[in-house]
Amino acid sequence: MTEKRNIGGFAGAALLITGMVLGGLFISNWDASIVEQDENRSITPVVAADQRSMQEFSETFATIAERVKPSVVLITSKRAVAQTQQRFRNPFEEFFGGGPPGNQRPRPFQGLGSGVIVSKDGYIVTNNHVVENAEKLTVQLSDERETEAEIVGLDPRTDLAVIKIDFDNLPVLAFGDSDKLRVGEWVLAVGNPFGLNHTVTAGIVSAKGRGRVLEPNSYENFIQTDAAINPGNSGGALVDLEGNLMGINTAISTRTGGYQGVGFAVPANMARDIMTRLVEDGRVSRGYLGVEIADLDEIVAESMGLDSKAGALISNIVDDGPAIDSDLQVEDVIVAVDGEDVEDVDDLRKRIADIAPGTEIEIEVVREGSPVTIALELGELPDGDPTRVASTSEPRRSPATNLGIDVMDVTREWSRFYEAGSGVVITQVRAGSVAEDKRLQRGDLIREVNGESVSSVQEFLGIVREFEPGQAIRFRIQRGNAQFLIGLRIPEE
């Protein structure tokens, strides 16, 4: 035992000494590699390297800011605003700037926004809401020169506009390829928030392809960023770390009227396309299909025998639209246009809008579980955009099925109200029911159940009673002049 302990002790001592020697050599070499200090022997090269990286990063931001700022202008818009009574504030006005609502006589209104010089001969891209209805536009350059501007064209659906000033050899900001911008990349926002000229803020790309941020009939594919954007930044530049224009700052999501970490910019690729069309034609013409469409939810998709929610559901065909004379039918699910898959309502609307009116296209639909291909010629989207997006977040019920609604036959009075067509009218929606959860309303007209027309309460109950608890069911609803589909699941008794 003793001998073994001595051997172990020698071995341990040898290992300890060897470790100390090797450790000393390592420490010595490590010290020799990093303790090469400056004259004051206060900073190691490791720290210096970190500082150099940070300094280079900082210099990148400063260089980009110096390069971009001359191409971003301050736009002052003057127009008369009639305020004879208390009014609601336009969401854009919160972003663009303006006085408080109140009982006032018509008064001059002055708003401040931003714009980006995109050509040496004076074309400037900005937001529609910055210059719309302006009686006078003034542009101030980075060198403090001022001049009046004229409106070249407006596109409210993308909230973009082009204006022009009569200066030559202007500093131009080059368009980048916004499709290549990645979530997580650093970006800079340059504009004139609160009239503070040429303010630069930094952040990252938080998300891409954001839609349904502004109005239902707008065409949105926003870049979302956490770079600080405030009122007055509208129309300013969002740039990458190479100084390329990646977006036109347009809106913020806020509960205070100021920056809360979520801003949106129109992608540069969309802005460049709209600018070209406005400069060439003074307006933007868009393809028009002439249908009302809705996203599919899981219940509606299941009720139609579909495996996924991809596509856009035709909920109504608009009178006098291109689709009225085609083979398209209500409850067709559009899954592809010219061979390219359709993801959802927003995807379809943008796809159709980007096709020139008069173009013949092929639309692939799923009808009662089978694929159908239909060819038709697109019209031109009229003002008012009758290609509405119908809501799919509401349901219908009958007393015998525990859906939580009472229904009645269409009386002469209701028939006049709805003008034409048969169905049953919802007279009551019970609190706590699935109908209430789906926001059904008294006065909604149920026209069809799972694609089958109903003309009386008796027919309605006969159809609905065939469904078992847990099964998906869909209703075609008319509310006012709008028709849409609602999906729900029959509740347990």
DSSP letter string over 404-438? SEEEEE--HHHHHHH-S---EEEEEE-TTSHHHHT
- What is the pLDDT, as a whole number, of residue 80? 59
| Measured CA distances, 98 to 81, 88, 112 (Å) | 10, 12, 9
DSSP annotation of 175: B
What are the residue ranges spanned by the domains of the chain? 53-82+89-98+106-284, 287-380, 399-489
Kindly indicate the confidence band of residue 216, based on its pLDDT and cuts at 50, 70 and 90: low
Choose the catalytic residue: 71, 77, 129, 346. 129
Q: Once rounded to an integer, what is the mean pLDDT over residues 362-390?
A: 79
Choose the catalytic residue: 114, 234, 398, 433. 234
Most confident of 321-335, 376-390, 405-419: 321-335
Q: Is 198 a catalytic residue?
A: no
> Which is nearest to 164 in space by CA: 128, 118, 233, 111?
118
> Which is nearest to 327 in space by CA: 360, 302, 358, 363?
363
* pLDDT value at 454 more than 90: no
Choose the catalytic residue: 159, 297, 346, 347. 159
pTM of the model: 0.65
Q: Once rounded to an integer, what is the mean pLDDT over residues 346-365?
A: 94
pLDDT tens by residue, 256-286: 777 889 999 999 999 999 999 999 999 999 9
Q: Once rounded to an integer, what is the mean pLDDT over residues 357-361?
A: 95
pLDDT tens by residue, 20-79: 444 444 444 444 444 444 445 555 555 677 788 888 889 999 999 999 999 999 999 987
- What is the pLDDT, as a whole number, of residue 419? 52
The CATH class of the 53-82+89-98+106-284 domain is mainly beta
Domain 399-489, second-level architecture: Roll (2.30)
- What is the pLDDT, as a whole number, of residue 179? 96
* pLDDT value at 1 more than 50: no
Assigned token pair, 394 = 């509401």
- What is the pLDDT, as a whole number, of residue 252? 87
Percent of the chain with pLDDT over 70: 78
- What is the pLDDT, as a whole number, of residue 435? 83
DSSP annotation of 389: B
**Backbone conformation region of residue 21, classed left if phi is above 0, alpha if psi is from -120 to 50, else beta:** alpha
Greater confidence (375 vs 308) lies with: 375
CATH, domain range 287-380 = 2.30.42.10
For residues 234 and 113, is the Cβ–Cβ distance under 8 A? yes
Report the chain's terminal Cα–Cα distance, integer Å.
82
Kindly indicate the confidence band of residue 318, based on its pLDDT and cuts at 50, 70 and 90: confident
Average pLDDT for the chain? 80
- What is the pLDDT, as a whole number, of residue 35? 41
- For tokens 């390069």, the residue is 67
Greater confidence (315 vs 385) lies with: 315
Output the CA torsion 313→315→318→324 (10° steps).
Answer: 70
Domains 287-380 and 399-489 share a fold: yes
Q: Is 159 a catalytic residue?
A: yes
- What is the pLDDT, as a whole number, of residue 399? 42
pLDDT tens by residue, 73-97: 999 998 755 443 333 334 443 344 4
Q: Is 129 a catalytic residue?
A: yes
